[in-house]
Structure 1
Amino acid sequence: MQHAQSKVIIVAGPTASGKTALAVALARRFDGEVINADSMQVYRGMDIGTAKPSLSERGGVPHHLMDVVDPDEPFNAAIFRSLALPLVHDIVRRGKVCLVVGGTGLYIRSLLGGLMPVPPSDPAVREALIAEWKSGGLDRLYARLEQLDPEAAAKIHPHDALRITRALEIVALTRQKASALSRAHGFGDRTLRALKIGLDVPRPALYERIDVRSLSMMRSGLVEETQELIRRGFSRDLKPMQAIGYRHAVGLLDGRWTMDEAAALLQRDTRRYAKRQLTWFKADPEMQWIAPEALDTVLAAVRTFLESDGEAAFALSGGRAG
């Protein structure tokens, strides 16, 4: 006997678009629980720079997969899927509504569509790439990726050393482009049924929110939070410590920038990150875009989705999809 697929509500969108507030409102209305799909909010001790919702902001709604690892512990899309999928089924089994909320598109895609089969990291290949990065600079590695796999390079920030080296490693180990492997896989492992809601904030308003929040982070404890992580022995070279916010605080602590300079760079880099998030999510034809304040529209759509037996055959109105 084949069991019905578990239903999930995806609340996605760029940073500072209002995902937490909407998710909490939906969870409280439909007796739901939230699974975090933000790749930085999984880390303990990294609260201010990740905009991790406080207990009061969570509104009494259970939130899962926050504060699950230390900054020096491994965490990636495969680990996320292995933890999130059983949580989804457990939440649904208990008669609750499951909301998956965050801005990390790869985590959401891996949960809904599986992971493409690629070989595990090869220490020798990885160490050679890292040595080349350290000696010749990351720009050279990125230029090579642009030559070998331009499609993959276009989706990776030139400063994202981890993803650049991984993409080059895949080429070295498989003699195939990571982008080609991704297309061949298709991410079609549909074990869940999802209603995907994308928060659509006009770009000027979104950037204004980002600028205000970035400045608030710098002035209300991000530098001290980063300093405490360093005091506890977490290296500046760790992947989470190189993330937006923390690398800016490190630059300030190391004397490379003043507070004003670090804040301005944080604002700029966060706006750029939001733009990349939007590019990712808007490539998904199943994403239904709405304005965050259109709560009645979302409530009606969620209710219809939860009550339906087949695939959701409706569209949200009031958004600017595109």
Structure 2
Amino acid sequence: MKVIAIVGPTAVGKTSLSIDLAKRFNGEIISGDSMQVYRGLDIGTAKVTVEEMEGIPHHLIDVRDIDESYSAADFQKAARQAIQEISQRNKLPIIVGGTGLYIQSLLWDFKLGSEGEPEDDSLREKYEAFAEKNGNQALWKKLQIVDSLAAEKIHYNNRKKIVRALEVFELTGHSILKPKDRPKKLYDSFLIGLNTDRAVLYQRINQRVDLMVERGLLSEVEMLAKNPNVQAAQGIGYKELFPYLAGDSSLSESLEEVKLHSRRYAKRQLTWFHNRMSVHWFDLVQQPELITEIEETLADWLADDTSDFCR
């Protein structure tokens, strides 16, 4: 079963490329973004509009209310089902997103969760008591010290998962997310990575933030500020503006925080994809003509029937 994934940092044109390739190769798009699942969060997540879709079906967008949680395991299950259904329609599944864990857990047999790990009620009670006294973020920082892999992937307000991760680490000495064996590839996948020069990327990120404000970002922030402890409220582009609404900072100061955190996130995204996956990289920002090379490469790959993967 053939699957294309378009990955890379924010603001490099993944959405535009996905639409072009879906039209060219009879595809449907699966969002691999951890924030675009939330209804009503359109501007701050740079969610694709109906007009931009150009009639191409999109999946896993607007599937959660803002007070609901969403995990890599949720995405893995839903996206694999979407891939199956799209393929059965003789369409090409195209995954688009910058959330590295989502892409990796989908395309490989990547185990999420703690099945088969030992349990200890007393340890669980100890960490629950610590969280009650010191707060969820203090508990998360404790996890970050002993198991940075798990801390990177578990939201600091998800106390249940943090407690379980600490419990497993103390009992076994290894991360709750550490794969027991090298994960195998589940699909015949081709990964396209988009990137550009860092200075250009950072300029595009800064401009995107300013444009989001012009389009009404603050209305979405105000909606989330009514319930700032939900998972959705911790997304970059939202949490940084809460101090402005509270009168604790100016709008320009808060927007600089959004831009700073967005740039840092882009750097983390690139590090993930460079270190963990085999990606074919292109710079369409400065060399838009490379789309011809991408299309020709994909056409050859799609025509190749020598793969051992089932179709």
Residue 41 (structure 1) aligned to one of 36, 42, 61? 36
Cα 1:117/1:82, change in 2 over 3 Å = closer
Please state how far the C-alpha of 1:254 moved relative to its aligned partner: 1.3
Count matched residues: 297
CA displacement at 1:227 relative to structure 2: 1.6
- SS of the equivalent of 2:33 reads coil
Which runs of structure 2 are paired with 1:206-285 in the superposition (5 Å)?
206-230=201-225, 235-285=227-277
Retained in 2: the 8 A contact 1:141–1:165?
no
C-alpha separation between the residues in 1 aligned to 2:305 and 2:101?
A: 28
- Closer/same/farther in 2, CA of residues 117 and 12 from structure 1, 3 Å limit: closer
The aligned residue for residue 187 of structure 1 is: 183
Q: CA RMSD of the aligned region, Å?
A: 2.7
Q: Would you say 1:173 and 2:165 are equivalent positions?
A: no
Structure 1 residue 13, shift from structure 2 partner: 0.5
Aligned-partner Cα distance in 2 for 1:113–1:178 = 21
Q: Is the 8 A contact 2:168 2:176 kept in 1?
A: no
Aligned-partner SS, 1:262 = helix
Contact 2:137/2:157, CA 8 A, preserved across alignment: no
CA 1:64–1:147 in 2, change beyond 3 Å: closer, same or farther?
Answer: closer
Alignment match, 2:283? 291
Q: Which amino acid aligns with 1:280?
A: W
Q: Deviations over 1:14-38 (max 9, x none)?
A: 1111100010010111111100000
Letter of the 1:223 counterpart: L
Identity over aligned pairs, percent: 35
Shift of 1:235: 1.1
User: In 2 relative to 1, CA 141–28 (structure 1 residues): closer, same or farther, beyond 3 Å?
Assistant: closer
Deviation at 1:285, TM superposition (A): 4.1
Find the residue that maps to 1:20 and give its secondary structure: helix
User: Is residue 2:156 matched to residue 1:161?
Assistant: yes
Question: How far apart are 1:131 and its partner, in Å?
Answer: 2.5
TM (normalized to structure 1)? 0.83
Give the Cα separation in 2 of the matches to 1:198 and 1:241: 28
- For residues 92-124 of structure 1, give each alpha carbon's deviation from its aligned partner in whole angstroms, at most 9, with x where no partner exists: 111111100001111111111134253379985
> Is this contact kept in 2: 1:37–1:102, CA < 8 A?
yes
Deviation at 1:273, TM superposition (A): 0.6
Query: Per the alignment, do residues 145 and 74 of structure 1 end up closer, same or farther by CA in structure 2, a change over 3 Å counting?
Result: closer
Aligned mates of 2:131, 2:87 — CA distance in 1: 43
Gaps of 5+ in 2: none
**Aligned position for 2:19:** 24
